Amino acid sequence: MSHLYGHFGAEGAGYSQPSALLSSTKLNIPSSLRRKELPALPRLSEPEVVRHYTWLSKRNFGIDTGFYPLGSCTMKHNPRVNEVIAQIPGIADIHPLQPEHHLQGLMSIFFEMQVMLATCAGMDAVTLQPVAGAQGEFTAIRCIQEYHRTIGESQRTKVIVPDSAHGTNPASASMAGYDIIEIPSTVDGRLDLDALSAAVGDDTAAMMITNPNTLGIFEEDIAAAALIVHAAGGQMYYDGANFNAILGKTSPGLMGFDAVHYNLHKTFSQPHGGGGPGSGPIGVKSHLADYLPGPLVGRRVLALNEKSNVSDAWYYNWVEPTKSIGKVQMWHGNSGAVVRSWAFYRRYGNELETMSEHAVLNANYLRHRIMEEAKAAGVSDAFTDGAPADIVKHEFTLSLLPLKESKGVGAMDVAKGLLDHGYMAPTVYFPLVVPECMMIEPTETESKEVLDAFAENFVKVLTEDAKVLHAAPKSTPVGRVDEVHAARNLWLRHEKGRQS
């Protein structure tokens, strides 16, 4: 490659055409600030760089390459129109420090999003700032904490979670300084009202729960649970990770919740997983609205004589909630993610309900197809239904305990076996209340053919030899990795000469 550098200069790494801009910028850099030596970065031509990344992308697996049934994660198709809208220069090329009147377009999107999210969840106010569901949980719990402090109830130091809760719920509450009370579920995987009644008291700050719960079952007693918690002076927090099942059908507000987070990257599409940016806005009832992190977007009608370069009849402005807990994120959160989800929501409009219906239909269809296939293949005793309910919502669980006991093949082995059949593995070992758990969530955009093929392949894996499954996956670039080592010893630096 050296002939390229010889011709166009070493700055041309990864680039093989002359650049007038490059040479004129170089002139403006004082010699005292210029490097004496070039950085030891790998230097390749543009086609080599393109080939490298294209090769890497082909080793990846994503929703665009295959079925991705990861439970609790709602891995949706991301309509490309969302990307087009997020890249409009008036949205992509602005800076959050520009004056309000420069940002009217983006602010109008934020405003609409605040209103749309508040409406579908039955809440009164929304902040778009948190950038993950877990950060939304922490933010809302901090708002509840400040609310209790302001009304003189700082003795409320306990947060109640069911034993099926996602780990982020107790983690967020604990980060805010709360003690966690875990209550057991009933044998059919639902909230136990007696256990809840026994757990609440003067020290209850909140209860955190998702509905449908993590087994994919709708908590029919949720309104009664809200009455119990409220009667004790506590607040109800809705974990919105499972919102895809109920959008347009009912709302956390109707169920009695005071605060909610939305995982825009799950329910409202936005690439996620593998590091894709998320967005976890929160919505609250009016008594908590003053505590939200600011700024929020407000608007007023433009006066006729007002000089402005905005073409709308509204003028959008930043609003600081009066008793705000403070910012939880730089600027306004992941604004690109908000814009993509806004585009998604706008296209569905009042049809959001149909989207949820299809998600629920797909989950129930797949659940029954897997049972049918298993029966036909004579392996129906390989697993039991994690959720002994006739109808689940948008996802379902299976317990692979019988297979583990009969042939030593656990949920992890089946998950790895599925990779060799060209599928992303479902979620494994969550929720913890289901032994050898597999959790499957197909989402609304998958076709019947895709679901049928997955059911057939899933059952084929169950019938495979234990030795084969223990050694799976064989077809992926790497086999079984030491996940604990990989998570604890992150290696993020480029080292000269190192190939892997």
Smaller CB separation from ligand PLP, 199 or 241:
241
- Span interacting with ligand PLP, options 130-138, 175-183, 221-229, 480-488, rule CB under 6 A: 130-138
Q: What single letter denotes the amino acid at residue 173?
A: A
Interaction of residue 166 with ligand PLP, rule CB under 6 A: yes
Asked if residue 256 lies in contact with residue 222, where contact means CB atoms within 8 angstroms, the answer is yes
Asked if residue 187 lies in contact with residue 212, where contact means CB atoms within 8 angstroms, the answer is no
Which tokens hold the place of 320? 């600081």
For ligand PLP, the binding residues in 387-446 under the rule CB under 6 A are none
* Dihedral Cα 194, 142, 177, 173, nearest 10 deg: 50
- CA 292 to chain centroid: 21
Smaller CB separation from ligand PLP, 16 or 244:
244
For ligand PLP, the binding residues in 67-86 under the rule CB under 6 A are 72-73
Least CB distance to ligand PLP at residue 123 (A): 18
Least CB distance to ligand PLP at residue 461 (A): 24
Q: Which residues pair with 282 in a beta bridge?
A: 127, 261
Smaller CB separation from ligand PLP, 156 or 166:
166
Least CB distance to ligand PLP at residue 261 (A): 8
Q: What single letter denotes the amino acid at residue 155?
A: Q
- Residue selected from 122, 133, 417, 426 as contacting ligand PLP according to rule CB under 6 A: 133
Q: Which residues pair with 180 in a beta bridge?
A: 159
- Span interacting with ligand PLP, options 128-136, 348-356, 366-374, 434-442, rule CB under 6 A: 128-136
Asked if residue 261 lies in contact with residue 281, where contact means CB atoms within 8 angstroms, the answer is yes
Least CB distance to ligand PLP at residue 49 (A): 32
Least CB distance to ligand PLP at residue 306 (A): 41
- 292 exposed, middle or buried (CB, 10 Å; 0-12, 13-18, 19+)? buried
- Residue selected from 145, 168, 329, 457 as contacting ligand PLP according to rule CB under 6 A: 168
- Span interacting with ligand PLP, options 77-85, 126-134, 223-231, 418-426, rule CB under 6 A: 126-134
Least CB distance to ligand PLP at residue 270 (A): 10
Contacts of 149 (CB under 8 A, 6+ apart): none
Q: What single letter denotes the amino acid at residue 456?
A: E
- Find the residue with minimal CB distance to ligand PLP: 133
How many residues are present in the chain? 500
- Residue selected from 164, 214, 267, 443 as contacting ligand PLP according to rule CB under 6 A: 214
Interaction of residue 297 with ligand PLP, rule CB under 6 A: no
For ligand PLP, the binding residues in 217-256 under the rule CB under 6 A are 239, 241
Give me the helices (H) in 349-400, please.
352-376
Rounded-to-integer distance, Cα 281 and Cα 136, Å: 6
Interaction of residue 329 with ligand PLP, rule CB under 6 A: no
Least CB distance to ligand PLP at residue 437 (A): 13
Interaction of residue 263 with ligand PLP, rule CB under 6 A: yes
Q: Is the dihedral of CA 68, 69, 73, 75 positive or negative?
A: positive
- Residue selected from 129, 164, 185, 210 as contacting ligand PLP according to rule CB under 6 A: 210
Number of residues that bind ligand PLP (CB under 6 A): 14
- Residue selected from 122, 212, 253, 280 as contacting ligand PLP according to rule CB under 6 A: 280
* Dihedral Cα 421, 423, 429, 431, nearest 10 deg: -140
Smaller CB separation from ligand PLP, 278 or 410:
278
- Span interacting with ligand PLP, options 131-139, 336-344, 360-368, 388-396, rule CB under 6 A: 131-139
Rounded-to-integer distance, Cα 212 and Cα 441, Å: 13
Helix or strand or coil: residue 335? helix
Least CB distance to ligand PLP at residue 264 (A): 9
Place of tokens 């520009």: 98
DSSP 486: H
Which letter, b or e, does each residue of 23-38 get, where b requires 16 or more Cβ atoms within 10 Å of its Cβ? Answer: eeeeeeeeeeeeeeee
Which tokens hold the place of 462? 């169950």
- The site for ligand PLP (CB under 6 A) is made up of 72-73, 132-134, 166, 168, 210, 214, 239, 241, 263, 278, 280
